[in-house]
């Protein structure tokens, strides 16, 4: 009887510890055009290259914005990331590349929201 109670306690302790999940580091980027409309189908790239004075690993996350103009990037660790967004605007006269850039600071266990405006590239 004592052994079965001890076994139940041990199993309970192990099962509770296995339920722990690492907190997610998440960045949600919303892409807008110059008129304030969300842009679906834009390519959004988060990367760490070319950040002055910061030595980090080369992490890259590239996604396409959904119908709400959003991408959801999930990383393992905190990170300071460059953000680029671009798409090709097809008009009747000519195709135009829309492009924008910004920086996002992702924090462990938090969801960070960032807006990026894409404008015609001259």
SS3 120: strand
Q: Is residue 14 part of a domain?
A: no
Q: Is residue 13 part of a domain?
A: no
Q: Give every CB contact of residue 28 below 8 A, 6+ residues apart in sequence.
A: 70, 71, 72, 73, 111, 112, 113, 114
Say which CATH number the domain at 48 has. Answer: 2.60.40.1120
Count of domains in the chain?
Answer: 1
User: Phi and psi (nearest 5°) for 101?
Assistant: -145, 150
Q: Is residue 61 part of a domain?
A: yes
What is the value of pTM for the model shown? 0.75
Q: Is residue 30 part of a domain?
A: yes
Q: Is residue 50 part of a domain?
A: yes
Q: Is residue 12 part of a domain?
A: no
Q: Is residue 42 part of a domain?
A: yes
Range of the domain at 104: 23-120
pLDDT by residue, tens only, the chain of 122 residues: 566 676 676 777 666 655 556 678 999 999 999 999 999 999 999 998 655 665 556 788 999 999 999 999 998 888 889 999 999 887 656 788 999 999 999 999 999 999 999 999 86
């Amino acid at each position: 009887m004592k052994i079965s109670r001890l076994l139940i306690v041990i199993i309970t302790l192990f099962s509770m510890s296995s339920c722990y999940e690492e907190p997610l580091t998440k960045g949600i980027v919303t892409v807008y055009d110059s008129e304030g409309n969300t842009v679906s189908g834009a390519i959004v790239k988060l990367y760490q290259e070319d950040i002055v004075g910061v030595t980090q690993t080369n992490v890259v996350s590239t996604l396409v914005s959904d119908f709400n103009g959003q991408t959801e990037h999930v990383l393992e660790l905190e990170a300071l990331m460059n953000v680029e967004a671009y798409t090709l605007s097809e008009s009747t006269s000519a195709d135009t590349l829309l492009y924008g850039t910004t920086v996002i600071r992702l924090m462990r266990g938090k969801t960070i929201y960032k807006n990026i405006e894409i404008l015609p590239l001259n």
